[in-house]
Amino acid sequence: MTYYEKRNFQKIVVSLLGSSLLGYRAFFIIAGVLLFFAWLPDGMSSLLDKIFGGEILKWSAKDGTMAVQILGSIAIFVVIKRIIPKDIPNVDICINDRPKRAKVLVLFLSENNSGIEEILKFKTIDEYGRNNYRMPLKAIDYHKQELKNIIVVCSEQSFGDKDKFLKCVQNLFGKELADMANVRYIKNFEDAKSVYKFLESVYNQLKQEGFMEDDIVFDVTGGQKAISIAGAMFAIPNDRHLQYVSTSDYTVKHYDLTYMQNEE
């Protein structure tokens, strides 16, 4: 772990726990936060699928997992809220569904099993339906007027799909935007440490190229949950910008994670 990583991790620990010493309470909170971010999105996604699929009144045994994920997340949130010290800075999360257009978009590409001939028939993003390329294409579409650089991050599983994705970009937005894309590689998206180091490296490189903090946005929709966790750790202490494309209404949402000092 580099000095930069250690310093940022210590900030997070102190902000959440009121101390840099890791005791049983600290480990409980950290484990609870990880479970909360792992369970709640899956549980809510399953619930929304039932609602929009007209099956909200049809319950089976497998729906018990969904209920445990949602109720468990709520319980974890309540417990953690009660045990976190009240006299330290709070982490404030603001969600903006009309974020500023970025000049640099960093997105993580998930593996895609669709045939190239099939998806190149699509002339609009909405035609992609539930195809997992819809979210990164939505992200590009939102920022396309200001974009100067698109960094497409691939894993070992998705690297073979990079040309297919870039053809989709060119098919929808033209060659100029597709030529902006720079493909980067992380072997395993589930390795949060590697993802964190990559984010740090890319950010520092972009700063050296003259881009400001407001010019850069990291989209954490694709890949694994470790990307969201590493992205949050990367963003909270440093005022970096994260975005997420909703898988329910496909809108681009900007997450502003900042420290807020109590005014008491």
**Dihedral angle over CA of 234, 237, 241, 242, nearest 10:** 50
Q: Give 171-235 as a DSSP string.
A: HHH-HHHHHTEEEEE-S-TT-HHHHHHHHHHHHHHHHHTT--GGGEEEE-SSS-HHHHHHHHHHH
Same domain, 72 and 104: no
What's the CA gap between 81 and 76, in Å, rounded?
Answer: 8
> Is residue 162 a contact partner of residue 152, using CB atoms and an 8 Å limit?
yes
Identify the pLDDT of residue 6: 56
Structural domain contains residue 26 = yes
The string of pLDDT tens digits covering residues 72-81 is 888 888 887 7
What's the CA gap between 115 and 181, in Å, rounded?
Answer: 21
Select from 32, 53, 84 the last residue of a domain: 84
Q: Is the pLDDT reported for residue 167 higher than 80?
A: yes
Sign of the alpha-carbon torsion through 198, 203, 204, 208: positive
Same domain, 61 and 107: no
Same domain, 30 and 115: no
Considering its fold, how many domains does the chain have in total?
2
* pLDDT greater at residue 142 or residue 230: 142
What's the CA gap between 28 and 125, in Å, rounded?
Answer: 42
Same domain, 73 and 106: no
Structural domain contains residue 6 = no
Structural domain contains residue 150 = yes
* pLDDT greater at residue 221 or residue 118: 118
The string of pLDDT tens digits covering residues 88-103 is 455 555 666 677 889 9
Among 236, 243, 209, residue whose Cα is nearest residue 97: 243
Range 44-56 average pLDDT? 78
CATH number for the domain spanning 190: value is 3.40.50.10770
* pLDDT greater at residue 29 or residue 259: 29
How far out from the chain centre does Cα 222 lie? Answer: 7
Same domain, 151 and 241: yes
Same domain, 109 and 237: yes
Same domain, 24 and 107: no
From first CA to last CA, the distance across the chain in angstroms is 36
Q: Is the pLDDT reported for residue 166 higher than 70?
A: yes
Cβ neighbours, 10 Å, residue 237: 19
Same domain, 167 and 204: yes
Domain that holds residue 213: 95-260
Range 233-245 average pLDDT? 69
Contacts of 224 (CB under 8 A, 6+ apart): 189, 190
